[in-house]
Amino acid sequence: MEASDLGLVLIPLLAVAAPLLARGVRPVVRVPIVVFELVLGILVGPAVLGWVEPGPLLEKLSDFGLALLFFVAGTEIDFRQVSGKPLARASLGWLLSVLLGIGLGFFFAPGEGMVVIGIALSSTALGTLMPILRDARELDTPFGRAISTIGAVGEFLPLIAISIFLSTRTTPIATAVLLTFVVLAGLAILLAHRVPHGRLHRIVQATLHTSDQFGVRFVILLIAALVGLSVMLDLDMLLGAFVAGAIWRIIMARAPQKDAEEVESKIEAIAFGFLVPIFFLYTGVTFDLQALLASPVAMALVPVFLIALLVIRGSAAQLSAPAGASVRERAALGLLAATGLPIIVAVTAIGVDQDMLDTGTAAALVGAGMLSVLLYPLIGMTLRGDRAEVAGPPRASASTQGEL
C-alpha cells in the first residue's frame, strides 16, 4: 500500500488515538488535544516514519478543516461585547504586536520576510482557545470575554494584513479588492440583521432529525459562498470562513435556543470530529522537521520565537485586561494571547511559496507555534484555576475538542 493510500487509514486512526492519549495523561497534566494531533502527524509523516505522505486529497481536507476552525471561531464571537473600547484596545494591542514583530523580523529576514514574521508573531489562535475556554466555563466571564476579543482581533487583523501586504497584487489594488470584500461582507451581515428569519428557523427546526438536515446544508453553503468569494478576489480563504461564522451567529440569534444548540452540535461534530483533526494532523505531516534539525540557526530560533510570542502578544494583551484583574489573571491572559498556530502555518506557507522566507525560519516559526499551543494554554489555565467545578454541567453542545 502506498503512503498516500495508507494515510487515508492512518489519519482517522490517529484522530481517534489523540483524544485517548489526551485523556490518558489528564490525571497528570491537561494537554490540549491539538498537541497530540501535531506530534502524531510528525511521527507518521516523512520527517520520521514516512508512513503518510502529503497528497492532494489530504491537503484539501486539511484546508476544509482550517476553514471550519475559523468558521466556529466566528460563531463564538459576540460582537456586541467586543465592540467599542474592548475592540479598540485589542486592535491597538495588535498594532503594537505587529510593529514589534516586524522589528524583530528585520534581524532574521530583512525585506518582505520581516512582514511575514511580524504577522506570525501578532496572531492569537482563537479557534484553538475557544474550546478550552468553553469547557472551563470562561466564555461569559470578564476574563473569557477579554480573551475572545484579543483572539478575534488576533485572527482577523492578521488575515487583513496578509491580504494587503502579502498579496500577489500591488498594495493599492490589494487594498481596493479587500475593501470590495468588506463591503460585500458588510452587506451580507446587514442583510442577516434585517431580514426576518422565522421561516428559515422553522425549516431548520423541521429538518433537525430528518435526512434533509437543512441547517447543516445551509451552513456548508454559507461557508462555501464566503470562502469562494475570498478565493475569487484572491484573498485568504480564512477571511470568508470567519465572516461566514459571524453571519451564521446573527442568523441564529433569534432562533429557539434548543434548535440553535442542536445545529451547533452538528456543525461541531463535522468540524471537531472530522475535518479539524485532519488539519492539525496534516500540519504535523507536512512540518519540515529536517529543515529545522539540519540548521542550528533554525533550531536556535524556535525558543527565540516562542519567547517573542509571549513577550509581544502577552504584553499587548495587558491593554485588554479586565478592570481589577489580579497578577495571576494578567499572566494567564498574556499566556493565552500568546498561543498561536493556524495563522502562523498559513502565513509562513505564503512566505515560503513567494520566496520571502527560507524553509528553516518558517519551520522555526511553526515549531514555536506548536510549542505555544502545548505550553501556554496549559500554564495559563493552571494559573487561572479550574472554574468548571463551580460553573455547573457543560452545555449539551460543548465539543469534545474543547474537553481536551
CA distance 399 to 267: 10
Residue at grid coordinates 446587514: 190
Residues of the chain where predicted confidence (pLDDT) is lower than 50: 388-404
Backbone angles phi, psi at 52, to 5 degrees: -125, 125
Q: What is the pLDDT of residues 349-363, one digit of tens each?
A: 888 888 888 888 999
Q: Quick one: cell of 148? A: 475572545
Contacts of 29 (CB under 8 A, 6+ apart): 378
pLDDT at 353: 83
Q: Alpha helix (H) ranges present in 30-78?
A: 33-44, 56-76
State the DSSP string of 67-127: HHHHHHHHHH--HHHHSSHHHHHHHHHHHHHHHHHHHHHHHHSTTHHHHHHHHHHT---HH
CA dihedral 69, 41, 301, 93 (to 10 degrees): 10
pLDDT at 79: 66
CA distances from 124 to 90, 323, 359, 373 (A): 11, 22, 22, 10
- Do the beta carbons of residue 246 and residue 375 sit within 8 Å? no
Query: Which residues form the domain of 233?
Result: 3-403
Helices then strands, each counted (H, E), the chain: 20, 0
Q: Quick one: cell of 143? A: 476574563
Residue at grid coordinates 527565540: 304
pLDDT at 43: 93
Residue 6, SS3? helix
CA distances from 99 to 50, 102, 309, 391, 393 (A): 39, 5, 13, 39, 42
CA distance 213 to 269: 14
pLDDT at 130: 80
- Do the beta carbons of residue 285 and residue 45 sit within 8 Å? yes
pLDDT at 365: 93
Question: Comparing C-alpha atoms, which of 204, 296, 219 is closest to residue 257?
Answer: 204
Rounded to the nearest 10 degrees, what angle do helices 237-251 and 171-194 cross at?
Answer: 10
Q: What is the CATH number of the domain that holds 33?
A: 1.20.1530.20
CA distances from 172 to 34, 132, 178, 293 (A): 38, 39, 10, 40
Structural domains in the chain (count): 1
CA dihedral 86, 125, 98, 100 (to 10 degrees): 100
Question: Comparing C-alpha atoms, which of 320, 342, 347 is closest to residue 333?
Answer: 320
pLDDT at 169: 61
Q: What is the pLDDT of residues 117-167, one digit of tens each?
A: 999 999 998 878 887 887 778 878 888 889 989 988 998 889 888 888 876
pLDDT at 81: 65
CA distance 269 to 275: 9
Q: Quick one: cell of 292? A: 529545522
Q: How big, in percent rounded to 5, are the helix, strand and coil portions of the chain?
A: 75, 0, 25
